[in-house]
């Protein structure tokens, strides 16, 4: 059974954090973090300058969610020469910018973090699993086909980064009552055969169902997060209204009658 798409959310308008970095926030504790627990925030930070491992780059902003931990997936860009080589002299190589995918969880025990509450993982250190046909999955946390991610995580919790060429198809299995979301960093995707999304879109799927289908319409990079199955608590919010519509009070019920006060003689 397919997991229906509950909603597609855009983070096309970036903002700057306290460190002055350009950030696109896919979701936070105040928006969808409660529905996607244990994940409470997902940021895409671009143009990160050295030192890459500094806590300011790795740590997610405080969302009022209490103690938690952050894992950051670091992608180093290729070094660029600032000047051409002249007279056999070495060129000046500018420190290349990097990009970080920053994922926060609501409990420091969920992901084994560094003492300052964050952990930086270089993308090339994550095990890569080739997909049938083309493309690959980098296992950040959890496992896939026997390959275990370097970031410790609770059982049945997965964080994958997928690199897909154009026209690649990937079926994703998930347990019923488990949260599942797909963040598109770049490219274009078709979800479940009818929902087209592009860069800076977050796709949130229903807890019901066990399968989702991803097809790339262009070379694409995406982050897939999958939580452990649980019974969702009743909360207010757009996602909960989509998952389970609220009941409206019946108009057939008689209105309560209040006895009239008698005036004193």
The CATH number of residue 141's host domain is 2.60.120.10
Assigned domain for 248 exists: no
CA distances in angstroms from 43 to 58, 101, 167, 211, listed in the order given? 10, 6, 27, 25
For residue 212, what are its two tokens? 């989702």
Q: What is the pLDDT of residues 105-164, one digit of tens each?
A: 876 555 554 444 677 888 888 999 999 888 999 999 999 999 999 888 878 889 999 999
Q: Is residue 87 part of a domain?
A: no
Within-domain flag for 259: no
Confidence (pLDDT) at 62: 54
Total count of domains within the chain: 1
- pLDDT, position 126: 92
What whole-number distance in Å separates Cα of residue 162 and Cα of residue 150?
16
In a domain, 187, yes or no: yes
**What pLDDT shows up at residue 6?**
94
Structure tokens at 179: 């949260």
State the residue for tokens 């270089």: 122
Whether 249 is covered by a domain: the verdict is: no
Q: What are phi and psi of 142, to 5 degrees?
A: 85, -145
Residue 80: predicted pLDDT: 47
Residue whose C-alpha is closest to residue 225's, from 148, 166, 139: 139
Assess whether pLDDT exceeds 60 at residue 63: no
Q: How big is the CA angle at 192 (ends 127 and 105), to the nearest 5 degrees? A: 45
Q: What does the alpha-carbon distance between residue 178 and residue 180 come to, in Å, rounded to a whole number?
A: 6
Do the domain assignments include residue 86?
no
Asked if residue 72 has pLDDT above 90, the reply is no
- What DSSP string runs through 110-128? TTT--TTSEEEEEGGGS-E
pLDDT tens sequence across 201-260: 999 999 999 999 999 999 999 999 999 887 554 444 444 444 544 344 444 445 455 555
- Is the torsion defined by CA of 115, 118, 122, 125 positive or negative? positive
Kindly state whether residue 34 falls inside one of the protein's structural domains: yes
Q: Say if 175 falls within a structural domain.
A: yes
Q: Residue 181 belongs to what domain range?
A: 5-81+92-243
């Amino acid at each position: 059974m397919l997991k229906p798409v509950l909603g597609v959310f855009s983070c096309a308008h970036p903002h700057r954090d306290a460190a002055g970095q350009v950030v696109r926030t896919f979701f936070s504790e105040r928006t969808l973090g409660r529905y996607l627990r244990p994940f409470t925030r997902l940021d895409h930070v671009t143009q990160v300058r050295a030192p890459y491992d500094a806590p300011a780059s790795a740590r997610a902003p405080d969302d009022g969610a209490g103690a938690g931990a952050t894992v950051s997936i670091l992608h180093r860009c290729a070094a660029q020469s600032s000047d051409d080589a002249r007279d056999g002299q070495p060129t000046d190589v500018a420190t290349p910018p990097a990009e970080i995918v920053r994922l926060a969880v609501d409990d420091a025990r969920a992901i084994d973090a560094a003492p300052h509450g964050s952990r930086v993982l270089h993308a090339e250190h994550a095990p890569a699993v080739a997909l049938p046909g083309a493309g690959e999955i980098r296992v950040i946390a959890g496992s896939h086909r026997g390959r275990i991610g370097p970031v410790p995580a609770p059982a049945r919790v997965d964080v994958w980064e997928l690199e897909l060429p154009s026209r690649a198809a990937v079926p994703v299995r998930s347990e019923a009552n488990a949260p599942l979301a797909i963040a598109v960093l770049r490219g274009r995707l078709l979800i479940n055969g009818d929902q087209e999304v592009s860069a800076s879109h977050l796709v949130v799927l229903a807890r019901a169902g066990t399968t989702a289908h991803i097809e790339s319409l262009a070379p694409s990079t995406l982050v897939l997060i999958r939580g452990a199955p649980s019974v969702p608590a009743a909360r207010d919010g757009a996602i909960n209204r989509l998952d389970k519509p609220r009941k409206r009070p019946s108009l057939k019920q008689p209105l309560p009658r209040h006895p009239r006060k008698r005036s004193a003689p």
